[in-house]
Structure 1
Amino acid sequence: MMDTGEQAMNPGGLSVSVVVFRPDPAQLTQTLATLAEAISCLRRDTPVPVAVYLVDNGGLPDVVADVSRLTQSGASCAVIAGQGNVGYGRGHNLAIDQATSAYHLVLNPDIDLDAQALAEALTFLAAHPEAGLLAPRIGEDGGGLQYLCRRYPTVLDLFARGFLPARWRKPFARRLAAYEMRDVINERDIVWDPPIISGCFMLFRTDVLKRLKGFDERYFLYFEDYDLSLRAHELARVVYVPAVRVQHHGGGAARKGFAHIKMFAASAFKFFGRFGWKWL
């Protein structure tokens, strides 16, 4: 493990974990640059300590310049490597196990943060001690809103949304809108207790995350965020806060090839086996 900068590990701090596996170098650099800017804005008024963990599941490019930018923002930065491709959830758990901060952010390497995103998020959590997990407003490449808060899915919902061409989804439009919570998720309103939020940006109180023992490592990829979201409700409230803004550049399993479809199906089977099958 490589460690640079002063360790940001007092109880008032923020820790961030980013798991990478053969990332797009330009996108990773952009994500880390926006993270560094958000950290600078967060620390401008309150010098809260921040620790960033880059978890290398394989193929991490040269990040010397990115690490330098993060340390200049006031964060410490550690690279966790040598474990091989252990999966998304288990990779984050390697960092979560080390975190002793007040808050921990699970962050995808394809997310761009608004400069004020971390400051807005921590201000909200400080004012709402009942909130243990926060989801942001997630934008898409075209500037529109991605509806990544979810109600409990049916097998049909997942199949229609993930694998049907857009023109074939029209008969399922109403049920997919309900699944994606389009009736309540918008650009303005705080929404308490969405059942499921996206793993691309999950900001936890670290004590809640530790009590949950992080991600369930039986999921290699996909549905680990669904699982963790549902379990989080047992300990704290989950909240969607649109003032916290990020942009997501990710894509679905069906667009990534057959290997991802197989992983998606295997994880869906584990998920429904644990929480209950709902077909239609």
Structure 2
Amino acid sequence: MGTRVNMEITASIVLYENDIEELRKAVDSCLASPLIQELYLIDNSRTDRLKQLAQDQRVSYIHNPRNIGFGAAHNVAIGEITSDYHLIINPDICFSPDVIESLAAFMESDHSVGTVMPKILYNGGEIQRLCKLLPSPLNLFGRRFAGKSKWGQALDASYELYDFGYDYVLDVPNLSGCFIFARTSLLKQLGGFDTRYFMYLEDVDLIRRIGQHARTVFYPYVHVYHGYRKESYASGKLMRIHILSAIKYFNKWGWFFDADRKKINKITLDAIAKHK
């Protein structure tokens, strides 16, 4: 597989009062890839102290006067770009330069793919199980409030695809927003993230909408590192935001009656069953 010489790739990171050294790793990872022509730092922080990371000429720093939310901030970058592919990453991500080259080559080889996610690892090297089914209300509310019960664990086993070994390419309907490598044309067509979500579930919503037009794929042959903190489990304020986003998601897509969810999830489960 090869990539076009004239390919354009952009990237964006949304900032909010981040640890500067952790953020520096994410910025340096993007700048280490010669394929990334421009990196947008969209800052929702109260001050512009993080602007000091925008020293490279490929970095565009934009400070918002208020915290407009995760998806809305990424949409600032999506509204400006004209690239072939766009990378959306969290501030606690780091990766080697070959990751972008491999993902771009994979996308170039199959134009039915709209977005692709590599293997996501904790900093210690363990796999993060971020390939999931489209959630039902039981998945999101059950795992939060009954996650340690046998019932809650059984829900997680299905939702988080415990039968999947993360060792082959798989079409997955729910990929993590911590690392989204997508066709810019699709992001533009869809209008980016749905800004009704301030934070949480906006990635599930976006990947689902991409999935209505193209394949959403897990690609196991390269990996990135992700700090990953379940902050909403420790913060009452973030928990309320998470629950509100879940209500907005199910109001939009359907609560217990969502025929498309069942059909889409079955395709992924059937594909996993064939590999057993």
Aligned-residue offset at 1:63: 4.3
Out of 79, 91, 98, which is 1:116 matched to?
98
- In the other structure, the counterpart of 2:173 is 195
- In the other structure, the counterpart of 2:82 is 100
Unaligned runs of 5+ in 2: 258-276
Residues 162, 253 of structure 1: 8 Å contact kept: no
Aligned-residue offset at 1:201: 0.5
CA RMSD of aligned residues (A): 2.0
Which residue identity lines up with residue 175 of structure 2 in the other structure?
I
Out of 49, 59, 80, which is 1:61 matched to?
49
- In the other structure, the counterpart of 1:184 is 164
Out of 127, 139, 143, which is 1:157 matched to?
139
Check if 1:243 corresponds to 2:231: no
Residues 134, 173 of structure 2: 8 Å contact kept: yes
- In the other structure, the counterpart of 2:153 is 173
d(CA) in 2 for partners of 1:20 and 1:49?
A: 19
d(CA) in 1 for partners of 2:232 and 2:62?
A: 30
d(CA) in 2 for partners of 1:275 and 1:11?
A: 39
Aligned-residue offset at 1:278: 3.0
Relative distance call for 1:32 and 1:195 in structure 2 (3 A) is same
- TM-score normalized by the length of structure 2: 0.85
Out of 14, 30, 34, which is 1:35 matched to?
30
Aligned-residue offset at 1:152: 1.7
Check if 1:262 corresponds to 2:257: no
Q: Between Structure 1 and Structure 2, how many residues are aligned?
A: 252
Residues 143, 153 of structure 2: 8 Å contact kept: no
- TM-score normalized by the length of structure 1: 0.84
d(CA) in 1 for partners of 2:206 and 2:65?
A: 23
Q: Percent identity?
A: 32
Out of 87, 107, 113, which is 1:131 matched to?
113
- In the other structure, the counterpart of 2:19 is 24
- In the other structure, the counterpart of 1:6 is none
d(CA) in 2 for partners of 1:185 and 1:122?
A: 23
Secondary structure at the residue paired with 1:266? Answer: helix
Out of 207, 211, 216, which is 1:233 matched to?
211
Aligned-residue offset at 1:207: 0.3
d(CA) in 1 for partners of 2:70 and 2:226?
A: 17
Check if 1:82 corresponds to 2:61: no
Residues 191, 241 of structure 1: 8 Å contact kept: yes
Relative distance call for 1:135 and 1:49 in structure 2 (3 A) is closer
